[in-house]
Amino acid sequence: MGMDRNSVIGLLLIGALFVGFIFYQNSISENQKEKYFEENVNRGDSLSKRADVLFIEGKQAFEKSLVDSLKKDSLILAASEILPKARSKFEEAITSYSRALKAKKDEKQPTEMITMLTKKQIEIDSLLKIITPVADSMPVKTDTISSGKEVTVSNDSVAKPALIAPMFTENKKVVSDTFILENSKVKATILSKGAKLESVELTEFKKHPKHEDTRLILFEGDSNVFDLRYFIDRKDVSTKNKVFETKGVIEKADGSKEITLLLYADTLKKKYIEFRYSLPSDGYMMDFEISFNGMKAMMTQGAPVVLNWKMTLPSLEKGYINEDSYCTAYFKANEDVDYLSETSSEDSEEINYKVDWIAFKHQFFSTVIIAKNQFESATISSVKLDDPKENFLKTITASMTLPEPGDGKTSIPFNIYFGPNKYNILSDQGEGLDLEQMIPLGWSFFLMEWINRFAVIPVFNFLEVYIGNYGIIILILTILLKVVLFPLTYKSYLSTAKMKVVKPQLDKALEKIPKEKMQERQQATMAFYKKVGVNPLGGCLPMVVQFPILISMFRFFPASFELRQQPFLWADDLSAYDSVASLPFEIPMYGAHISLFTLLMTISTIIYTRMNMQMNTGPQMPGMKVMMYLFPIMFLFFLNNYSSGLSYYYLVANLITFAQMWAIRRFLVDDNKILDKLEANKKKPVTKSKFQLKLEEMQKRNAKK
């Protein structure tokens, strides 16, 4: 097969698009940087304004305490409560400005704001050194924490536990009771301390064998923070270290298991916060409910009630780099599914409207909290740890604002999904949830989405019923795709063959036109092709049409749950890289291992390129030969840490292409017959399109003028 100029341009276009797509997937564009910068500056401005209000209020309270002896104690206490909040808000603002500087290092405004806010923090610290010792020495009276009796608590005395409700006592060292909710798929551990969802294990699955403990635990222990925050008497209260009461796990008639935990706000046990967890006998979805009973009058009106969930995602798979590039936070808000950057070291999103769900997404598994009546708003952040030795990937934090409690009992229902990122399973969790959009199938481009949803996934699902080896399934899928695309391949080859056989005639015709008259030579070339019936774009367009399929496979294989831990030949996991040798050093952008499938794919692509170059008898564009060999080498670096299933697919596709080219040349295309047909076309009158006729008519009119 000869490589005419248009075919080469087509290949270069595909290569350029493919490389551009890879870079797009692994970097933040300038527009994204601008958006990231503006979002963090705006958030910093908002936080600093709120902090300034608190700072002024706290400072004024302290200054008034110096001159008003009657209200001195209350003013000192007010200042001791307000100023730490102001300092905390200043710290949040500084964090936002620091994030903005990561997008634009040379911007002055964030730097100036950080300097100014740091000075205010120093001033607050100086004030607190004076205020805190005085405030700590004061007795605090309250009648909201007991059963109608006034209790006085000071720093060096402890009130009798019988008179203080659990909501207002805190003991970080208390030993928590542990409870297990378990079904055929999920094992959840819940603590009485904080009513915390301590850990979740998916019992059907295992981590990659490279991990010492192969139990697949989505989160556990200190890497997981789960608490409710609210305000009472303007004080920020957290359930984190509060001890809830419970009667333990109850098994119901339908096989589901449930536990209810209560945190009482009075010793009469009429006012409380309730956490209820319920796990069905089968499935990945847990019911979760937070209820407030009689709490409205106690809680500060207008202050937010926030459910915080901070999770450090552990590594579960073989390839740390590839796995990390698919871990992030997803969320659905305003009918759209969106996500934080998978490749940035830090990213955050402040959502000031209703939110349906938030997901803590691993490469192949997710924890998704779904608000049945939507969250009021949410703030989500992701921080990349970038330390493979620690076996943790990213820390994702979600602060979700809940509706304010009403009179009587207010219940806020949720679902929590713990399970695999498998298309069919996610889409079955609930109509309209769109959880399946967490799988990167190319949702931003409808053609890639359709190819994966309606072609690739159904074929995979059908074949896996009858075939247990996914290497064979990929082989069959590739054959089917190449058969479907064969008409395009044949058309591309035929177009190239036509241009090849008429090239001597074209060269002879162009000898009469000087080389410096490029426009005239191009017009003569197009006229010649039209006369003999050759479409110069015939070899280019079929290649461009195949590009969406190329990218669809690039998206599908690394995210395909079906390939997870599936061995084939020397690869122990088709969803991760295959390694046949480890290097004693690390090569930048390549790694410290050799992926044989990627190496074979690269070699096959180079051989294919060399064959085409040798068969091309025409002149080549300057530097074209180097460029054509450069693309396979670039793919060698890009794909060495990617899914071995992807490299295997590209390798098989190349080998099938070799076979198709041989079959076309051997049985379908005869250069002599093509030349005879083109010679016959010369004798036919050249038909002109309506556009050409109108164009010629306009030219004649202009000539008369």
pLDDT tens, position by position, 44-53: 888 888 888 8
Give the per-residue pLDDT at 284.
96
Looking at 117, 138, 159, the residue that finishes a domain is 138
Number of domains observed in the structure of the chain: 3
Tell whether 12 is covered by a domain: no
Measured distance CA(644)–CA(575) in Å, rounded: 6
Measured distance CA(361)–CA(203) in Å, rounded: 18
Residue 698 has pLDDT above 80, yes or no: no
Tell whether 147 is covered by a domain: no
pLDDT tens, position by position, 532-570: 777 766 656 556 666 777 777 777 888 889 899 899 999
Show Cβ contacts of residue 598 under 8 Å, excluding neighbours closer than 6 positions. 577, 578, 635, 636, 639, 640, 642, 644, 647
Residue 457 has pLDDT above 70, yes or no: yes
Whole-model pTM above 0.85? no
Is the same domain home to 279 and 404?
yes
- Mean pLDDT, the chain, rounded, equals 80
Q: Is the dihedral of CA 25, 386, 112, 83 positive or negative?
A: positive
Nearest to 245, CA basis, from 226, 272, 224, 220: 272
Residue 624 has pLDDT above 80, yes or no: no
Q: How confident is the model at residue 149 (pLDDT cuts 50, 70, 90)?
A: very low
Is the same domain home to 321 and 350?
yes
Distances (CA, A) of 442 to 353, 418, 554: 26, 24, 10
Tell whether 497 is covered by a domain: yes
Is the same domain home to 650 and 570?
yes
Tell whether 8 is covered by a domain: no
Give the residue-averaged pLDDT of 156-163: 36
Burial class from Cβ neighbours inside 10 Å (0-12, 13-18, 19+) for residue 466 reads exposed
- Please tell me the chain's helix, strand, coil percentages from 3-state DSSP, rounded to the nearest 5: 45, 25, 30
Is the same domain home to 127 and 183?
no
Looking at 439, 459, 492, the residue that finishes a domain is 439
Range of weakest confidence among 165-179, 215-229, 614-628: 614-628
Is the same domain home to 487 and 618?
yes
Nearest to 440, CA basis, from 349, 587, 330, 534: 330
pLDDT tens, position by position, 7-51: 555 555 555 555 555 555 444 445 666 777 787 888 888 888 888
Tell whether 144 is covered by a domain: no
pLDDT tens, position by position, 663-693: 888 888 777 777 777 767 666 665 655 555 5
Q: Return the bridge partners of 243, or none.
A: 193
State the virtual CA torsion across 112, 114, 118, 124 in degrees, nearest 10: 100
CATH number, domain of 337, equals: 2.70.98.90
* 218-248 exposure pattern, b = at least 16 Cβ within 10 A, e = fewer: bbeeeebbbbbbbbbeeeebebbbbbbebee
Give the per-residue pLDDT at 143.
34
Tell whether 307 is covered by a domain: yes
Is the same domain home to 323 and 343?
yes
Is the same domain home to 585 and 616?
yes
CB atoms within 10 A of CB 262: 18
**Structure tokens belonging to residue 97:** 């400005």
Range of weakest confidence among 224-233, 459-468, 627-636: 627-636
Show Cβ contacts of residue 346 under 8 Å, excluding neighbours closer than 6 positions. 99, 102, 381, 382, 383, 384
Is the same domain home to 178 and 46?
no
480 versus 693: the higher-pLDDT residue is 480
Using DSSP's 3-state secondary structure scheme, residue 248 falls into: strand
Asked whether 279 and 286 are in contact (CB, 8 A), the reply is yes
Tell whether 298 is covered by a domain: yes
Give the residue-averaged pLDDT of 591-600: 88
Is the same domain home to 426 and 456?
no
Tell whether 148 is covered by a domain: no
Which structural domain, as residue segments, surrounds residue 563? 447-683
Is the same domain home to 476 and 539?
yes
**Structure tokens belonging to residue 327:** 């871990």
Give the residue-averaged pLDDT of 129-153: 52
Is the same domain home to 426 and 281?
yes
Q: Is the dihedral of CA 203, 343, 603, 487 positive or negative?
A: positive
